[in-house]
Amino acid sequence: MEKDEYISEVLKVLDSHSAEIKGKFEDALDSLPPKAVAVEVNVFSDQDGEGFLTIRVSLDGPDLYVLNKKIEEKACLFDTVMGSDGFEPPLPMLDPFDIEFDSPDILVDTATRWLHKELSQTNLSKVNLPITILNPEGYGTVGAIKLNG
């Protein structure tokens, strides 16, 4: 699979889950505990480069465990799992030894840009905290993107 085709396929899957992802994001924002000082939307890719993608909301502030426990049920916005017929949701599965691009970087960059576009369309005014999209594992070239604050 070529890089442009991969990006296109990833965007199709994300687009097909847009309403669900935005709804979960807004639900998480509605559940923020008072002691939260920042919101992060973390984009994770598997280190092997097969194409797993997870998008989670996490909070920053005092006692991270307690803060994040408050939104635990609403924190996962998107998660790829292996089903009997391949990935669910059906992201393209890659053989990292059979492609000529860095799939974790491309996947994280694609998802980060997509999230910026989509989450910017949600009601961010109800949250008076910084909201940042980032990859805490260092994949991607886009870097952190501030949505709010």
Tens digit of pLDDT for each residue in 30-70? 999 999 999 999 999 998 889 999 999 999 999 999 999 99
Query: Residue 107: its pLDDT value, please?
Result: 95
Query: Residue 99: its pLDDT value, please?
Result: 87
Number of domains in the chain: 1
pLDDT in tens, 75-126: 999 999 998 888 999 999 988 888 888 899 999 999 999 999 999 999 888 8
- Using DSSP's 3-state secondary structure scheme, residue 54 falls into strand
- Cβ(94)–Cβ(85) below 8 Å: no
Query: Residue 113: its pLDDT value, please?
Result: 97
Say how far apart CA 53 and CA 110 lie, in whole Å. 11
Phi, psi for 23 (deg, rounded to 5): -65, -45
Query: Residue 125: its pLDDT value, please?
Result: 86
Domain limits at 75? Answer: 3-148
- Over range 5-24, report the average pLDDT: 97
Say how far apart CA 76 and CA 33 lie, in whole Å. 17
Residue 6 has pLDDT above 70, yes or no: yes
Say how far apart CA 46 and CA 53 lie, in whole Å. 7
Give me 59's structure tokens. Answer: 């909070």
Query: Residue 22: its pLDDT value, please?
Result: 96
Q: Which residues pair with 56 in a beta bridge?
A: 42, 76
Amino acid at 128: N
Query: Residue 11: its pLDDT value, please?
Result: 98
